[in-house]
Amino acid sequence: MNKVFLKSFAKTGMVLVFSVASMMASADAKQDIVDARQETQIWTTYALSPYLRAHDLKVKVNNGKAVLTGTVDEDINKDLAKEIALGVDGIKDVDNQIVVKSDYVPKAGNRGYGEVVDDVTIVAAVKSRLIWSKFSYISTKVESKGGRVVLTGNVDSTDAKTAATRLAASTRGVIAVSNQLNVDSKPGATDKAKAAANDTSKSVADAWISTKVKSNFFYSSNVSGSDIDVSTSAGIVTLKGKVTSGAERALAIELAENVRGVKSVNAKELVF
């Protein structure tokens, strides 16, 4: 009887041991996943930051504690790296081992993740602004490398080519624009595209116009769209608010006038 009891007890004990071990392994696996997710979030933010992306920074997270290593050229960048890590949900402590060297020069190499994302974002913004324009850019190709934008394809007028340069150059993040667009006023695809755009513009909704004007301001590096109120009635856009200069006011009016469907712009209450 005692032997049977001992065997049963031993089996029960083994089951409990294995169960506890399994639960501990499962908990460790879940924590590893959380650590990896936090490491990735911190590193991605570094890669996207224009102040940290060029530095060789490494991140290791263990149960809510982040260990930062690498080299930066200024104390403020070391502090920034720490604050970014602390801003990630679940990070309770940061061991900032980053070394500051004033003469540090990042290694030259291929474009990093942040630069690629910047260029993709610039291309999307420029394309959007061209699509919203009253001119036709249906065959225009946009490329960006390091904020340097290249425009290729055909347009039907010199005005369209000039407007494309201004739109691209005033887009946030753009450093330079190489406008290689060909002006082709002969009947063809560009004329058909222009006719289609004109037909569409007749029925453009006021709400759509207001949204695109605001978006144009948002993408612009020279206009503070958050301080400008935009409303549209029967294609007439009204701009209200404050700008910092006459140049900014003029650009805001030009950007609004360039949006497809806009008949005129009333900027009497846009002051500086």
Residue 199 lies in a domain: no
Q: Are 112 and 145 in contact (CB under 8 A)?
A: no
**Strand pairing category for 99-100 and 65-72:** parallel
186: CB partners within 8 A, 6+ apart: none
Q: Are 221 and 171 in contact (CB under 8 A)?
A: yes
What is the spatial distance between Cα 79 and Cα 86, in angstroms, rounded to a whole number? Answer: 11
pLDDT tens-place values along the chain, 272 residues long: 555 555 565 556 565 555 655 655 566 678 889 999 999 999 999 988 888 888 889 999 999 999 999 999 899 999 999 999 999 999 999 999 999 998 888 766 566 778 888 999 999 999 999 999 999 898 899 999 989 999 999 998 999 999 999 999 999 999 999 999 999 876 554 445 555 544 444 457 999 999 999 999 999 988 887 789 999 999 999 999 999 999 999 999 999 999 999 999 999 999 98
Residue 158 lies in a domain: yes
Same domain, 151 and 237: no
Residue 197 lies in a domain: no
Residue 49 lies in a domain: yes
Residue 195 lies in a domain: no
pLDDT at 26: 66
Residue 198 lies in a domain: no
Of 100, 125, 140, the last residue of a domain is: 100
Give the domain CATH number at 214. 3.30.1340
- Tell me the residue range of the domain where 59 lies: 2-100
**Tally of domains in the chain:** 3
pLDDT at 225: 75
Q: Are 88 and 117 in contact (CB under 8 A)?
A: no
Same domain, 96 and 21: yes
pLDDT at 27: 66
pLDDT at 127: 95
Residue 106 lies in a domain: no
pLDDT at 4: 55
